[in-house]
Amino acid sequence: MTEQQTPERKEEEQRLQEVIAQRTQRSAGLWRRETAMALIPLVLVIGYAIIYPFESVYTTLREIPGIGDFFPTPGSAVIIIVFTMMAIGLNVVVGYAGLLDLGYVAFYAAGAYMAGWLASQHFEQVTFHFWSPGINPELPGIHINLWIVLALAGIFTAIVGIVIGLPTLRLRGDYLAIVTLGFGEIVPQFVRNGDNFKGFDLTSGSFGITPIDAPGFGDGLGSASAGLLPVNFQQSFDAEQLYYWSALGLLLFTVFCCWRLRDSRLGRAWIAIREDETAAAAMGIPLMRTKTWSYAIGAFFGGIAGAYYASFKSGAFPSDFYFNISIFLLCMVILGGMGSIWGVVIAGTILGWLNIEGLGVIGNYLNDWIFEPTTGSRIEVPKYQFGIYGIIIVTMMLFRPTGLIPERRRKLEMEEGVHDEPAMGERAVNR
């Protein structure tokens, strides 16, 4: 049935179009202004982060009376950045796609061992060097430049993610969480026991692989750039700063990728799945493929971070990869706000700092001012770090489930109750 095109109707349509055009224009202008406003603090923060490791900067900051203790050393800052990076990777899985992954530590382990295999003396049966920075070419083992190893670790871990994901991703919600938890427990045991596969030593067992090569640009680039690109981080006198800056670079790269991914076709597909899996499938989104991609990409960043951290610590040890790390990362994502990149960056920095230095510092203050005067004994606060994370998790979930800096869309979902599964629903059979 066709509608009659009366003159009034035409007029109305025209008016409507004008209004739409006006609004688009206005919102475009608004957007530009908003972006500019948002860029200023961003530039300030990044600028601060870049100059932070200069000795004159951080020592000055650390000497401020009262709050000086709250500034970490550049070495601790590297660890904070690496864990924040992993949290952003986990955010892709948990925040964007809404898949609870309790075994993210497996990807961290995979990345770290990749660095151990490809940039150390572990495989002493062979001697293979490829652009190895400032390392004696006679040294046995595989020595590939760490920048390449990082990429390889990312790819390898993404493949691990796909392998774990393919059989498990068709499970829903809590079952998926349990399966990932299982993998997160199996992988550390595998590396712990992996020192004797029919006589072949894959992982050096509980000793771990150490030392691992430092990153660097090698003699060629080093002398060509007149020392601007260091030959080898570990051999330069400002190793910590170098590690810090490249970690910061990796973090910015991760943030950028995840930010762009969120608005991509894939990112929108993830969000659609998170909101309503059935509806997303009905709209033609391939569930399995989209979910697997979220696993692979989340794992990719975890792998890079793991490999980089292994190089920084110069070792990959099975005792590093325990379940609590997964929960620690999850806590960062929850505190920051699931799906919110800036939230996760901020929460990652706060919790990372608490983990490395903060709890000790705060504990000292509490002991000096409260516990010792009142009870006469001191409490070892860092010992209870996971209890504290547990309290954070529960408090956030009960009172502010969208996190410190809620992502706009997630907030709507929470408030309007758009979710695919009723929380503690009736038994599925009777639905």
Partner 1 sequence: MPSGRPSLVGLLGLVFLLLLIVWLGVNFIKDPQEFINVFFVGLTRGAVYALIALGYTLVYGILQLINFAHGDVFALSGLVASSVLLSVFGVTTDSGAGLVVVAIAVALLVAMVLASTLHVTIEFVGYRRLRHAPRLAALITAIGMSFIVQNIALAIYDVDYQSIPRLIPNSSVLTIGEVALQWNKLFVLALTIPVLLALTWMVRETRHGKAMRATSQDRDASAMMGIDVNRTISFTFALAGSLAGAAGLLFLLYFTTMRYDTGFELGLIAFTAAVLGGIGNLTGAVLGGILIGLIQEFNEGLAWATPGGDWTRSIVFGILIAILVFRPSGLLGEQTPEGE
Q: Which residues bind partner 1 (CB under 8 A)?
A: 98, 100, 102, 167-168, 171-175, 177-179, 181-183, 185-186, 189-190, 192-193, 323, 327, 330, 334, 383-384, 386-394, 397-398, 401, 413-414, 417, 419, 421-430
Q: Which residues pair with 120 in a beta bridge?
A: 142, 212
Shorter beta-carbon distance to partner 1: residue 50 or 178: 178
Shorter beta-carbon distance to partner 1: residue 146 or 271: 271
Shorter beta-carbon distance to partner 1: residue 45 or 397: 397
Amino acid at 311: S
Q: Which residues contact 357 (CB under 8 A, 6 or more apart)?
A: 72, 73, 76
Q: Least Å distance between CB 168 and partner 1?
A: 6
**Which tokens in the block code for residue 56?**
């004159």
Q: Least Å distance between CB 321 and partner 1?
A: 13
Shorter beta-carbon distance to partner 1: residue 226 or 423: 423
Give CA–CA dist 264/248, Å, rounded: 24
DSSP one-letter string for 168-219: HTTS-HHHHHHHHHHHHHHHHHHHHHTT-BTTB-SS-GGG-B--BPPP--HH
Q: Least Å distance between CB 95 and partner 1?
A: 11
Q: Least Å distance between CB 329 and partner 1?
A: 12
Q: Least Å distance between CB 82 and partner 1?
A: 23
Name the residue among 340, 368, 373, 335 with its Cα closest to residue 354.
Answer: 335
| Contact call for residues 115 and 311 (beta carbons, < 8 A) | yes
Give CA–CA dist 86/96, Å, rounded: 15
DSSP alpha helices (H): ranges in 203-286?
A: 218-224, 239-262, 265-275, 277-282
Q: What are the distances in angstroms from CA 379 to CA 24, 260, 371?
A: 59, 45, 7
| Contact call for residues 407 and 336 (beta carbons, < 8 A) | no
Shorter beta-carbon distance to partner 1: residue 105 or 142: 105
Q: Least Å distance between CB 206 and partner 1?
A: 10
Shorter beta-carbon distance to partner 1: residue 139 or 171: 171
Shorter beta-carbon distance to partner 1: residue 138 or 426: 426
Q: Which residues contact 103 (CB under 8 A, 6 or more apart)?
A: 164, 180, 181, 182, 183, 184, 185, 187, 326
Q: Least Å distance between CB 155 and partner 1?
A: 24
Supply φ then ψ for residue 127, to 5 degrees: -125, 110
Amino acid at 145: N
Q: Least Å distance between CB 150 and partner 1?
A: 28
Give CA–CA dist 270/288, Å, rounded: 11
Shorter beta-carbon distance to partner 1: residue 11 or 415: 415
Shorter beta-carbon distance to partner 1: residue 72 or 298: 298
Q: Least Å distance between CB 379 and partner 1?
A: 9
